């Protein structure tokens, strides 16, 4: 089982739609969680950290479910500019320290 798993998609949605992505992780000792956005042939950019109580940033909402070991990202009122790959990242303990583990990413295409 992969340490961090995401549905690769693609998710094709019309403008204005609401879309949600889930990401599961295997290490219950994982401490922190993030969503990154990556445009084609560009570097990943931090979209938001995911807090235990859930957090919102404009049209984006992130949730953490430690019991079921998954995080989610909800995008409301999708824009064409939201088209990108969304990477789930888990900061997991290893050998006495921590490291970032990335999922393979979920591709989103917002259609006009």
Partner 1 sequence: DAGVTQSPTHLIKTRGQQVTLRCSPKSGHDTVSWYQQALGQGPQFIFQYYEEEERQRGNFPDRFSGHQFPNYSSELNVNALLLGDSALYLCASSLATVSHSYEQYFGPGTRLTVT
Nearest to 59 by CA among 37, 43, 82: 82
Q: Tell me if 102 contacts partner 1 by CB under 8 A.
A: yes
Count other Cβ atoms within 10 Å, centred on residue 37. 19
Among 34, 37, 83, 90, binds partner 1 (CB under 8 A): 34
Q: CA 87 to CA 15: how far, in whole Å?
A: 21
Q: Which residues contact 82 (CB under 8 A, 6 or more apart)?
A: 75, 108, 110
Site for partner 1 (CB under 8 A): which residue of 59, 66, 79, 99?
Answer: 99
Which among 12-20, 65-73, 75-83, 88-96 is the span making contact with partner 1, rule CB under 8 A? 88-96
Separation between Cα atoms, residue 5 and residue 109, nearest integer Å: 20
Residue 107, phi-psi category: left (phi > 0), alpha (psi -120 to 50), beta (remainder)? beta
Build a one-symbol-per-residue string for 36-65: x at contacts with partner 1 by CB under 8 A, - elsewhere.
-----xxxxxx--x----------------
Nearest approach, Cβ of residue 3 and partner 1 (Å):
11
Stretch binding partner 1 (CB under 8 A), from 9-17, 26-34, 58-66, 73-81: 26-34
Which parts of this chain interact with partner 1 (CB under 8 A)? 4, 31-32, 34, 41-46, 49, 87, 91, 93-95, 97-105
């Amino acid at each position: 089982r992969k340490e961090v798993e995401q549905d690769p998609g693609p998710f094709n949605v019309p403008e204005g739609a609401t879309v949600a992505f889930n990401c599961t992780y295997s290490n219950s000792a994982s401490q922190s969680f993030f969503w990154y956005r990556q445009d084609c042939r560009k570097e990943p950019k931090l979209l938001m950290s995911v807090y235990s109580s859930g957090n919102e940033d404009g049209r984006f909402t992130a949730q953490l479910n430690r019991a079921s070991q998954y995080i989610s990202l909800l995008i409301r009122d999708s824009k064409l500019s939201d088209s990108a790959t969304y990477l789930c990242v888990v900061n997991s303990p290893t050998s006495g320290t921590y490291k970032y583990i990335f999922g393979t990413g979920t591709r989103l295409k917002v259609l006009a």
